[in-house]
Structure formats: C-alpha cells, structure tokens
Chain A
Amino acid sequence: MFDIEVGSALVMGLILGGVILISAWLIWLERRLLGVWQDRLGPNRVGPLGLGQVIADMFKIFTKEDWVPPFADKLVFMVAPPIIMICILLSFAVIPIAPNVGIIDLNIGLLWILAMASLAAYSVMLGGLASNNKYALLGSLRAAAQMVSYEVFMGISLLGVVMLSGTFNLREIVESQRDGWYILPQFFAFIVFAIASVAESHRLPFDLPEAEQEIVAGFHTEYSGMKFGMFFVGEYIGVLLASALMTVLFFGGWLPPFGIGPEDSIVAGIFWMLLKTMVFVCFFVLMRAAIPRPRYDQLMSYGWLVLLPLSLINLLITGAVILFQGA
C-alpha cells in the first residue's frame, strides 16, 4: 500500500498535501518577490525570512467571523468557493510529477484538465451572482466572458502538442519529449497557452474580474474569512497548476534538461519538475509586477483577433508538417 507507484495512497497523500502547502507558501513567495521587484522588503517578520507569515495568515483567516451577507443567495454563496478549490485540485490528479509519481494515468488527461477549468469558471460566476452586489455582478460578468473565451484559445493551442505526441495522456506526452521538448516546435502554442492560462487564473494583467481599482474586489467583494480564503488559495493553486502544465506540455515535465543526471530517477524527476514549475510561478509574479491592465473590450478583442488566429495558424502548420513528414 505504501509503494511509490501511480495511484498509491502514499503518493496521493503526498501530492495533495504538497500542492496545498506549496500553494499557501506561494502567497509568501509572491509577496517577497514583489517586494524584491518593487524596492521594498515584503513580509519578513514571522519566522525565518517571514516564512511563518502564511501560518499566521491561516490562523487569522480561520478565526475570522464567517459572515454571509443577509442579502445574498445563501446556498450558492456558500457553495461557490469550494468549487474552485475542488476543480483545480482535481486537475492535479492527472499531472505526472515524476516516473511512477502521480495520482492517475488518465488517457484523456488533457481533456480532463480543460473540463475542470471550465467548471472552475462556475465558481467565480456563481460567487459573484450570489453575492447580490453590483461590483460582484460586474466582476462575474467579466469573469464569465473572459474565462469562457480564453478557454477556447487554450484548448486550441494544446492541440498541436496532442498532434505531435498522438495522445491526451499527460504522462505519455512527457515520455514523448525525450527527444526534444515541445517548446521548440510549439513555441507559438506555448505563448498562447501562457497568456490564456494567466487569463484563466485571472491574475494581473488579466485580473479584470477582480480589478481592485475598478470594481473593488470584483466577484469576491462580499466574501470574508475562510470562504475568501478558498478563492484566494484557489488562485494560487491555479497558478501552480498552470505552471505545472506548461512544464509538462512544453518543457519535458520531469525530464532533465540537456540530459543532466539520471533520466528516470524519482528524486531527480521531482526535483526537475518542481524547479521548472517554480520558474513559471516566478514568471507569473513578474507579470504582476510589470504589466498594467488592459480594458475589458481590449482584452476580448486581443483574444479573438490575435490569439485565436495565432493558435489556428499554429495548428494548421503543425498538421501540415506532420502530414509532410508522414508522407
């Protein structure tokens, strides 16, 4: 039962615990990184390097009054935050961490993730609508439009990878990158996917559903305590998921770069997987530090007029090349 193999209880527990811990710790990482990039310190008081800040924040958020506004739709209001947590956590089930480390080898892994991402959009929409607050309403309207359209580009951009590897199974996609990572043949797909995943996790510059300067806190204006905490941590799990996906799909997952070290060791695999993922996480934070927010209609037209054609052309060319090679 305590073997290291896909789907064993030990691995499942470790992944679930690891994902939640790392996501919570990402809050600290983001604040410290932003501090570095913005000429200030960031949280550095609780514990060494301020690492205990997350624990203190958790205490605070757990002990806060769990308030439901009297004018809200109570049931939906309470159901909405867990949806985003659950959907994104479920997505991690198909992420291959290292050889033999993962929760399930689903042959439709990629589709599973896209499906879960679609469901997560409900959380944001329902949360906003149930709040019965005008700012929340504006936020969830923006979220609905943004997430639904960027899912389209996200899906299309991934098809190139699927065509090259011939499978939806993420573990097999990693295996098929032994000869070369997909970042080279699928560079444009990577760009589209990276942008779309920022939009999916609604972080700056695409944080329109919660644009503080415009609509206060958007869809989670009325949320506090642990319900807010779930949206908050959900966002960071989303960042982790998007970074892990970029690693798995375009950067060879657990495979070492340039053949450094052993290829199929579990420890080395976990190390490379984590390292690559963290690089993308830092990239997410850097974007937040650097880029201003486009307007709602600019965001939409950028998606439909730039990203959609780009991903379609990428798909066409990939198909043509495969056809040509096959012939």
Chain B
Amino acid sequence: MSDTATESVLKQQAEDLSAVVGALYQRFGESAFTLQRTAEGLPTLWLQRQSLLDVLRYLRRDYQPRFEMLLDITAIDERVRVHREGQPEADFTVVYHLISFTGNCDVRLKIALHEHDLNVPSAIPVWPSANWYEREVWDMFGISFDGHPNLRRILCPPTWQGHALRKDHPARATEMEPYSLDDDIQDQEQSALKFRPEEWGMKQQSDSSEFMFLNLGPNHPSVHGVFRIALQLDGEIVVDAIPDIGYHHRGAEKMGERQSWHTYIPYTDRVDYLGGVMNNLPYVMALEQMCGIEVPERVQVIRVMLCEFFRIASHLLFYGTFAQDLGQLSPIFYMFVDREKVFNIIESICGGRMHPSWFRIGGVAQDLPNGWDKRIREFVDTFPARLDEYDRMVMDNSIIRQRTRGIGAYDTEEAFDWGITGPGLRATGFEWDYRKDRPYSGYENFDFDVPIAVNGDCYDRCAVRIEEMRQSTRIIRQCLENMPEGPYKSQHAKTSPPIKEHAKQDIESLIAHFLSVSWGPVVPPGEITTGIEATKGINTYYLVSDGGVGSYRTRIRTPSFAHLQAIPYISNGFMVADLIAIVASIDFVMADVDR
C-alpha cells in the first residue's frame, strides 16, 4: 500500500539531498563539508563552526526553497561511540535540524567539537528559537554558545553538578551519593530558585512607575502543571515575562540510553502524557525503518485509528480547559463525558487508558478485540453533533470572542522564528500537516482536510483544534469502514519470536527466540529522525544506534518546548488576564516540554 508512497518520498528526498548539498558545495566550497550517510536518507553535513552562521543564514534566507524553521538543536557525546565510520573526529557533536516547509525537505548540520574546546557560535541571530535549545545543550552537555545572551541551565536545577547527558554522568540515583536535604541545602536550593530581575536585564522601574514582579507558578491554577512565568508587571500590564521550565524534567532522553530498544516504549507514552500511544509512533517507526521492518496494513490502520482517538482526547481536554481559563466553568465537564467515551474505547482495545504503551516495534501489542467496532461507530455517529453544541456554547459566546480575538497573535513568519508547529502554525493560515505533506503509517490513504485559520490569535488556535477533531472523526470513520484483515504484527526476526513449532524443532530458532526475549532487537548502527504530527505539533525522535540492544542517543524534539519559548514575545503589552488566555490557547503539557 504505502510502498509506492514511501518510495516516492525517498526519491524526493534523494533529489533534495543532491539539491541542498549541491547548492551548499557551490556556495561554500566542497571542502567545507563532510557528507554523512544516514538511515533515512536525510542530508547530513558536517561543517566547521566558523562557517555555521553563514550557512544557517544562507539556508534560511537565500537558498530556494528556503529552510524556514530551526526544528531542533541537540548534541551527542561521541566519546564512547564505536561505529563512527566516515565521520570526522569528535568528542561532542552539535546537531542542527532545519526544515523547509515549502520545499518539504530537511537538512541536518553537524559540528564536531573536542573536549577541551566546547563552544559554538550562537544561532540566535538567525532564529530566536535557538535560545532555549542552546541553553538545553549547555545544560545537558556543557557546550557553550558564543554570543548567547543568557546561557544558564534550563532543565536541571541551577545548583546541579555536571552535565546530565554526558556519558560519564550517572543515569540513576543508585550510582550517586545518597541524597540528603538538610536545612542549609534547602535554603541554598530555594534561594537559587529566587527570581532576580537583574539577571534577565530587567529594570525595577520605568520613568513613570515602579514594576511589580510576580511569580506566576510553578503552582498556579492556569499553568497546567509545574511551570513558572516570572512576570514584570506595570499595574496589570505585562511588561515582560520569563518562562521558567524544568520542574517536570525526568531525564527521558537519558533513560533512553539505559533502556533496551523495546523497554523504552512505555517511557515515550509519558512524554506528552495526553498523547498516549501517539508518542510510541515516531519511536517505533524510527526503529522499524532502521531494521527494515515492513509493517502490515492492518497495523498501520489500527495505529492511525488510535492516534486519532488520542488527538481527540487531547484536544477535548485543551478545549475544556481553554474555556475554563476564560472563566467558563461548565464546558469542561461536558467534554470530559466525551473524553471518557474515547478512553473507554481505548481501554477496550489497549487495556490501558492514558498510557497504554501499546505500539510495538513492527506491530501492536494485541489484535483488536471482538466487537471492537460497536462503541467506535456509536462515537463517530454522535460526536460531531456534540462538537456543534460546544461551538455554540464556547466559540459563539461574545465574551469568549472578546477575550480571545486579537490576543496573542503572531503571523507565519514569526511562527517560523519561534519554531511553532502544529495547530499553532496552521492558525496563522499556513497549511502544513505532517500527515498530509509527509504521510506516514498510511495517512496518504485517508481522506481528510487540514484545517487552517487566518489571524493566528487565541481564538484561531482553538478553532483550528476544534476542526481537527472533526477531521479526526472522519479518519476514524474511514478506519472503521476499511479495516484490513491480516496480522497485527510483522513476522520479522527482530520483532517477533520465531514460530513456536520451529523453535521446538531447530536450535537456531530457539536461540533467536531466546535472544529476542532477553535482549530484544539489536539495531544496526546508524542515525535516523522520524517525525509525526503529534497532538501539539511536530514531534520527532532522533535515534542514534551504535549497534547495540539500546539507544546510544535518544533525542526527543517536542512541540511544546518551542511553543513556551514564544510566550514573552506574544504576550508582552497585554494584561494578566490575556496572558492566561494565551497560555490556555497554546495547549502544552509540561511533561512534553521538560521530558
């Protein structure tokens, strides 16, 4: 089914590869780069840090089609990596992932660094969104960025010793000294968390008034989790805001290096904890591509169906809390009724509700239960009418409109600047959906529209999500009516145990059985990035395999991280109540931000 589509995408990518690589060679000289082959065929170029900013500027502004967005900056500790064939010498690598929406292609740039000289020029002049990504790389790897205005820790506490994603940093508490918290340390930790306006270049007063600094969070009814925004207020006007994240950081990427390929799947569920099995998808797709596993059609359709159910569940929660943050208390209760129906369906299929951890490498955990379609049919028949009712209740309400129209607006170019993807990007009128433009898991076989809006304000962001729920319902209906027959997992040696009869008969099958149960799959060395249209935007997994039973480096690019960074930009000058509307309209999950 998807063979031809995948082939055409691969062919397209190969052409782009030559296109962007050729253009860069022509502009900066071939000697400036080293080309690296990767598992997914994404053009990967090593370059010198001196030329980084020129290359980034060229790719963003002059190259056609231009690379609009800096999707991700991350790093790899290369010091204990074995399989580095054809790559330049490096202790650490800084990786830039750029994406071109108009050209529908990506490029990955890498800079090799040596242990005694860990610094790179900051990319903030080209993309403001580089700010947090660079802070994260500094926090996790100790690589500094020249010209960064405020290079300080972002995920770990300010008092943290060491850099957590370095290979020599312990991965679990038992490898460290027992932790104790006496009064002195507690005072120290608390004072380290105190917000000091001077550190952020904020003034205590203007010519006419004295500012108030207000900690909105980490515990506050409207920040949906543990998230702090330090506000500089003039009366109720937000002069400036400093989002402070990291309170929900659990080291998901570090755990990826400790778990086996297979046992990491449940951790992915908890990254965007409202996305459930949708988080599994980019991870298992990456591994399938690396191992060359073909997924049966039935699996693809089951996966699409469950992902769309989780999209609805997540958007419903967003919709309800959005109304609630604007002071409308009732809608969320109605929406929880629908959400409950969705979770009942998910539960009857997966056995779990919010985190079923149900996708597997090469398939799903079980086949669909008998009579799976009854509840789903009931749901797709009734849900659109409920959505219409909510529209009348929330979106048509004049106070809601007054509170959200023209508030927190940004245009498409600003969205590119800040790395805003998903419904937040489509609300500006830019039509780009991973499912449509780079179909995965068979999305190309489904008939659905990509909703967009015009103004990119709070109201539009909500409107886009509501329409997405309708489209998701359409997709689910198509899954329901066209569910293919067939196996629910692929019979690939790396993912399924050998057929029992064979294992009873010959020793090779028995050994294979034993290994796949005790180790799980061994993935060939290589690198891959796989992305999906998650509930909140583009979610990618960048996996580096060193030929082992677990990941060498797991990088999770989550949409919410980038979205939160834009809060000051879109909320300065508005009132506190508007800030709440803006925060509500972003739809983030702190676990998705902090990982």
Contacts and interface: CB of A to CB of B under 8 A. Distances in A.
Interface of A: 34, 37-40, 134-135, 137-138, 204-205, 207, 211-216, 288-298
A208 to B, nearest CB: 8
B323 interface: yes
Most buried by B among A135, A137, A213, A293: A213
B480 interface: no
Contact of B325 (A39, A213, A290): A213
13 contacts: A39-B333, A135-B214, A138-B214, A205-B399, A213-B325, A213-B580, A214-B222, A290-B328, A291-B397, A291-B399, A293-B328, A295-B403, A298-B402
Contact of B399 (A207, A288, A292): A292
A37 B330 contact: yes
B575 A297 contact: yes
B327 A213 contact: yes
Contact of B212 (A134, A288, A294): A134
B388 interface: no
Nearest to A204: B327
A42 to B, nearest CB: 11
Interface footprint category on B: 20 to 34
B330 A289 contact: yes
B235 to A, nearest CB: 8
B337 A39 contact: yes
A280 B359 CA distance: 54
A214 B576 CA distance: 7
B236 A294 contact: no
A77 to B, nearest CB: 20
B337 A213 contact: no
Interface in B198-223: 212, 214, 220-222
Contacts, number: 77
Interface in B314-338: 323-330, 333-334, 337
Interface of B: 212, 214, 220-222, 236, 323-330, 333-334, 337, 397, 399-400, 402-403, 575-578, 580
Is the contact region of chain A dominated by helix, strand, or loop, or is it mixed?
helix
B221 A212 contact: yes
Nearest to B324: A213
A295 B221 contact: no
Most buried by B among A38, A211, A214: A214
A295 B222 CA distance: 16
Contacts of B400: 292
B152 to A, nearest CB: 25
Contacts of A39: 333-334, 337
B334 A294 contact: no
Nearest to B403: A295
A134 B403 contact: no
B330 A296 contact: no
Contact of A211 (B220, B327, B397): B327
B330 A295 contact: no
B221 A292 contact: no
A201 B222 CA distance: 24
Contacts of A292: 323, 326-328, 397, 399-400, 403
A165 B337 CA distance: 51
Given A292-B326, A292-B403, A38 B577 contact: no
A134 B402 CA distance: 27
Nearest to B334: A39
Contacts of A297: 575
